[in-house]
Copies of this chain bind each other. A is one copy, B any other.
Amino acid sequence: MWREYVREVTPYTPGEQPGGADVIKLNTNENPYPPCSGVARALKEFDCEALRRYPDPAVSKLRGAIASYHNLDMGNVFVGVGSDDVIAMCYMTFFNSDKPILFPDITYSFYDVWADEFKVPFTVKALNDDFRINKSDYYVENGGVIIPNPNAPTGIAEPVEFFEDILNHNRDSIVIIDEAYVDFGASSCIELLSKYDNLIVVRTFSKSRSMAGSRIGYALASEEIITALHNVKYSYNSYTMDSVTIKLGVEAIKDEKYFRDNLDKVICTRNWTRDRLNELGFQVFDSSANFLFVKPSGISAKALFEKLKERNIYVRYFNKPRIDNYLRISIGTDSEMQALIEAIAEII
């Protein structure tokens, strides 16, 4: 009889994680380059005996390092086990009205999943035909707003003024700007934090810091918002970030030169790939992320996805309305992207 009360969810299947040395994996927006050398050093130097102790539940060292990096106070920083954890905590903490939260119809695939999970009503707002966000869609009464900048999987960014306008129309709601990919070429809304106490900017170490394997995400916001997040988080699970990860996270943001060089390389490879795909007749959206969103030419997205997979090249195909003839291609190394372009040229 206990089966009657098992929570019903739509089982989510995580993206393919193919193994093997000859696989070219361009399907989950991972960074093609390793974390900075300080991370490797911190791993080697970590005092294993310290693991017998609980980690600092306040994660003060990492929050302090992130705060300094952004010229904020530690009281403006909340960290979580990846930005998925951070955003889920934001839903749980702030999206408790019976008005619907708003987000784009084409966007990060977890926004509606969390809404279902936490029983938060939501309304999706359709992107334009050119996959841009209509800011006036977000002028209506709502229980909260969440928008990624740049948006995913389109990669299209909007300027800070665009989000400031949305904030000005939403002084009564929490507005979350999900900046998972912002380092690859978009402008951050962090500068708006001092003016809007209802703004939450979410970031991750998974993409631009090459640390998807470490699960570090964070939110930047007013002290009042961060305190509310901590109250909910501590009441649920006080110790979520392990001691090794805290130390690696602190090291990961110390090496600004490596970080900038890494971003430059990815952006340069992205632009090269964009040009080649344009030459092959693909429609390629202007990307501010570490991926390209493209409409293939002379072949359906699904067929190209499958033919690439046969050659051990994995890109992302979405079997969803409006975008089922597009592919999302993560930016790998130069040689990986050359192999991709050659494979596509042969296939089409």
Residues on A close to B: CB < 8 A? 1-2, 4-7, 9-14, 17, 25, 28, 30-35, 39-40, 43-44, 46, 48-58, 81-82, 84-85, 88, 92-97, 113-114, 116-117, 143-144, 171-174, 198, 206, 210-215, 228, 230-232, 234-245, 248
Contact = CB atoms under 8 A, between A and B. Distances in A.
Contacts of A43: 43-44, 46, 48, 244
A228 B6 contact: yes
Nearest to A97: B5
B96 A237 contact: no
A98 B261 CA distance: 56
A147 to B, nearest CB: 16
Given A215-B242, A240-B82, A243-B214, A235 B54 contact: no
B52 A4 contact: no
Looking at chain A's contact residues, the main secondary structure is loop
Shortest 8 CB-CB contacts between residues of A and residues of B: A213-B243, A40-B48, A1-B172, A51-B213, A34-B49, A14-B57, A52-B210, A9-B235
Nearest to A9: B235
B113 A213 contact: no
Contacts of A2: 94, 144, 172-174, 198
A5 B51 contact: no
20 contacts: A1-B171, A1-B173, A5-B143, A6-B93, A9-B235, A12-B235, A35-B49, A39-B48, A43-B46, A52-B210, A52-B213, A53-B213, A81-B237, A82-B239, A82-B240, A84-B239, A85-B240, A114-B236, A214-B244, A245-B245
B88 A236 contact: yes
Contact of A240 (B55, B215, B236): B215
Contacts of A96: 5-7
Given A14-B238, A210-B51, A214-B244, A81 B84 contact: no
B28 A54 contact: yes
A206 B54 contact: yes
Contacts of A49: 34-35
A57 B82 CA distance: 13
Contacts of A231: 9, 11-12
